Homo-oligomer: A and B are copies of this chain.
Amino acid sequence: MSYDAHKLKQIVEGALLAAGRPVSLDQLQGLFSEQEMPEKKDLRDVLTTLGEDYEGRGIEVVEVASGFRIQVRTELSPWISKLWVERPPKYSRALLETLALIAYRQPITRGEIEDIRGVAVSTNIIKTLTEREWVRVVGHRDVPGKPALYATTKEFLDYFNLKSLNELPTLAEIRDLDSINRELELLDPDKPPPPGPARIP
């Protein structure tokens, strides 16, 4: 490894650890003067090498929405979490369901969340989600009362170790009553095929 690549790796490692938060490639480039500024490609290479260096170690390099982060490996959490007296927060189902609805259906109003969940959404939940900077108001729906439209933030993605919303677990499909009935009919060996032209479902 040339001196430059070596030095570059030191700086990138130092920056990621000193920042204590995800750092973007742009921010990494900003550490250098214009003459010595590395290409993004070189930075990516360095980050990959760094990740390889960390194999078998207590830490790893991950890419999340706001950039790259060095984090402690998940399998060490039983020990590491003992550093803090407080247990990590456990989120209520109501909060997680509200968050899930905002994540998957954004932008969405509180009323729409309530319609789907079948119960009122407490103001506290919205407050907690906003204070954690996981959700924010991105606009207002143009209906009477102009209800706020909520969406998730980069901090939400960072917290859940996601690069983008695309990486969210896939949502279960909704089965339609009619289509299921048709499927059942088609699969039923005792039943003659339905009359008329074949329909493509």
Measuring CB to CB, which residues of chain A are less than 8 angstroms from any residue of chain B? 6, 9-15, 17-20, 23, 27, 30-32, 56-59, 70, 72-73, 76, 79-80, 82-83
Contacts and interface: CB of A to CB of B under 8 A. Distances in A.
Contacts of A15: 76, 79-80, 83
Contacts of A11: 58, 76, 79-80
Main secondary structure of the interface of A (DSSP, over half): helix
11 contacts: A10-B58, A10-B73, A12-B58, A14-B73, A17-B17, A17-B58, A17-B72, A23-B83, A31-B79, A31-B83, A32-B79
A82 B14 contact: no
Given A31-B80, A79-B14, A82-B31, A58 B9 contact: yes
Nearest to A10: B58
B18 A83 contact: yes
Contacts of A17: 17, 58-59, 70, 72
Contacts of A30: 82
